[in-house]
Amino acid sequence: MNLNSAILVMAVVASLSGCATKGYVDESVARLETRLDEQSDRIAALTETSREALKRANDAGVLAEGKFLYTVVLRDDETTFETDRSALSDGAKSRLTKLAGDFKSNTLNIYLEIQGHTDSTGPAQYNRQLGLQRAESVRRHLHMQGVALDRMTTISYGEDAPAEPNNTAEGRAVNRRVEIVALK
């Protein structure tokens, strides 16, 4: 084989291997483009879902706007709950009786959300139950004072929404509370 033939064979081999490499690259790029298109479609769908969720949240905010009137918190020394207890103190009863009178004399159609809270002592499930018992104690007392049951609802946040850190006795005492949110 002469030098020209050898160069020609090497050129053919190089071009053939170049074609195989180019084909492989083209195939890999096509696969990547397909995956990129699929990911772009997923991102577009997620973006649309996010837009819809944001619109629903904004619509709910507009709907709720102006409906919040005030919050009454039972958590000072006279009205706080003892550890592991849902019974109302005399101070809490007195304050709730006054609130019921104010509520009944108000001509607005007011609705009360009674939220029970606990400190972080004890298991979370128990604290949710205790928070609900505290909220129900308040609801029962308000009802005994003449507030209609269909104008009140109860919910428990247990230990999940502390007003103060739970690392001190004072903080835990503040967290053993009921909040009454008045809505119109």
pLDDT digits (tens, 9 = 90+) for 103-162: 888 767 788 999 999 999 999 999 999 999 999 999 999 999 999 998 899 999 999 999
Residues 121 and 175 in one domain: yes
Residues 47 and 19 in one domain: yes
- Number of domains making up the chain: 2
Last residue of a domain, one of 65, 81, 113: 65
Predicted local confidence at residue 21, as pLDDT: 75
Residues 165 and 77 in one domain: yes
Q: What is the C-alpha to C-alpha distance for residues 18 and 24, in angstroms, rounded to an integer?
A: 10
The tokens describing 11, both together, are 């050129």
Last residue of a domain, one of 20, 41, 65: 65
Closest CA to 156 of 125, 124, 132: 132
Last residue of a domain, one of 48, 65, 82: 65
Predicted local confidence at residue 6, as pLDDT: 53
Residues 16 and 49 in one domain: yes
Predicted local confidence at residue 28, as pLDDT: 73
- CATH code of the domain in which 109 resides: 3.30.1330.60
Give the residue numbers spanning the domain of 80: 68-183
Predicted local confidence at residue 141, as pLDDT: 95
Q: Tell me what the pLDDT averaged over the chain comes to.
A: 80
Its pTM stands at 0.61
Residues 95 and 167 in one domain: yes
Does residue 92 contact residue 139 with C-beta atoms inside 8 Å?
A: no
DSSP 25-49: HHHHHHHHHHHHHHHHHHHHHHHHH
Residues 1 and 14 in one domain: yes
